[in-house]
Amino acid sequence: MIDPFGRRISYLRVSVTDRCDLRCVYCMAEDMTFLPKAQLLTLEELDRLCGAFIGLGVERIRLTGGEPLVRRDVMSLVKNLGARIGPQGLRELTLTTNGTQLAKHAEGLHAAGVRRINVSLDSLDPGRFKALTRWGDIEKTLDGIFAAKAAGLAIKINAVAMKGVNEDEFDRLIAWCGEHGFDLTLIETMPLGEINEDRTDQYLPLSLVRRRLRETWTLEETDYATGGPARYMTIRETGRRLGFITPMTHNFCESCNRVRLTCTGTLYMCLGQEDAADLRAILRDPSVDEAGLRAAIEAAIARKPKGHDFVIDRRSNRPAVARHMSVTGG
């Protein structure tokens, strides 16, 4: 699949649920209303849709959410997608998780063919972790992370960088990741969805963080790239990678290779734009066959926009995009 700007679409993010067992302050409001379960695609429908995307050239699928591991029976989807890994099919199946359910599922993920996961962890301080997630217990996430390591999964920690919240912890996070053999990616907060907090207060440009980190660490340029928005460096002292996702200060859209599918079958061609295609209606229309489904996907890709235009508007403090990250899948 090649979009109108010549970008090859080979990466699909699938949000398998909009629900979550945490309420990270930058991601969700405390009193989130979740979708009625009846609107969700079944796991079989999600698998069929993923199969159609793979048939059209998608090589990598990342399951996300919400929290993907809180969806009931999600491991059956993981197994079915894992069975699609092979030379003619999927090259890689990955997962982004908050880690709370990982201790239970780490071995199953590895057995299904998952080899890498991203785990979100914004702070190593239990009290701060609790405040950031509104009620999370850091021990559960840490247990999950170490169970995943023991199961043989490569781990990348994702931390959202927030001014005055965790900006004093990046050195500690880098050292901790180095000690345990994890990569680390720092993410700028993105203006997605109403969260009942002021985003202009949280925003911390990673250009500034990088300058500060250079006082302690030797950051070496690498040409490692995933086709995603992160720019990676290697930390000489730990030998681990450090990624920076900077949607606000750096526009990475020109190399974008991805589209995002929600748990209701809506396909978003860009995280930062409203345009979408309703694949659920097509999937459930008995008059549409496999070729029709593929044609609908191709028609949607043909509408992929050139890029997004995120701004944190200081006057209105309204999000650039009304839907939360947990809907589109981070």
CB 259 within 8 A of CB 269: yes
Q: Residue 29 or residue 83: which is nearer to ligand SAM going by CB?
A: 29
Q: Residue 97 or residue 262: which is nearer to ligand SAM going by CB?
A: 97
CB 33 within 8 A of CB 271: no
Rounded CA gap, 2 and 10, in Å? 9
Residue number, nearest CB to ligand SAM: 330
Which stretches of the chain are assigned E, i.e. beta strand? 11-15, 60-64, 92-97, 116-120, 154-161, 183-188, 219-221, 230-235, 241-245, 258-261, 266-268, 276-278
Output the six-digit token pair for 302. 């043909």
Rounded CA gap, 283 and 267, in Å? 12
Name the percent of the chain in helix, strand, coil, to the closest 5: 35, 20, 45
Q: Residue 128 or residue 303: which is nearer to ligand SAM going by CB?
A: 128
Q: Residue 297 or residue 324: which is nearer to ligand SAM going by CB?
A: 324
Least Å distance between CB 293 and ligand SAM? 26
Q: Residue 261 or residue 283: which is nearer to ligand SAM going by CB?
A: 261
Is 319 near ligand SF4 (CB under 6 A)?
no
Rounded CA gap, 257 and 38, in Å? 31
CB 67 within 8 A of CB 20: yes
Output the six-digit token pair for 241. 């990678």
Segment 210 to 249, residues that bind ligand SF4, using CB under 6 A: none
What does the binding site for ligand SAM look like in residue numbers (CB under 6 A)? 20, 26-27, 64-65, 67, 96-98, 120, 158, 160, 187, 189-190, 192, 325-326, 330
Is 326 near ligand SF4 (CB under 6 A)?
yes
Q: Residue 246 or residue 326: which is nearer to ligand SF4 going by CB?
A: 326
Helix and strand numbers, DSSP H then E, in the chain: 11, 12
81 binds, among ligand SF4, ligand SAM, none (CB under 5 to 8 A by kind): none
Segment 64 to 83, residues that bind ligand SF4, using CB under 6 A: 65-67
Segment 10 to 49, residues that bind ligand SF4, using CB under 6 A: 20, 22-24, 27-28
Least Å distance between CB 31 and ligand SF4? 13
297 binds, among ligand SF4, ligand SAM, none (CB under 5 to 8 A by kind): none
Of residues 92, 86, 136, 140, the one with CA closest to residue 117? 92
Strand partners, 190: none
Least Å distance between CB 296 and ligand SAM? 26
Rounded CA gap, 199 and 306, in Å? 26
Q: Residue 27 or residue 301: which is nearer to ligand SF4 going by CB?
A: 27
Is 142 near ligand SF4 (CB under 6 A)?
no
List the x/- string, 95-134, binding to ligand SF4 by CB under 6 A. ---x---------------------x--------------
Give the interface with ligand SF4 as residue ranges (CB under 6 A): 20, 22-24, 27-28, 65-67, 98, 120, 326
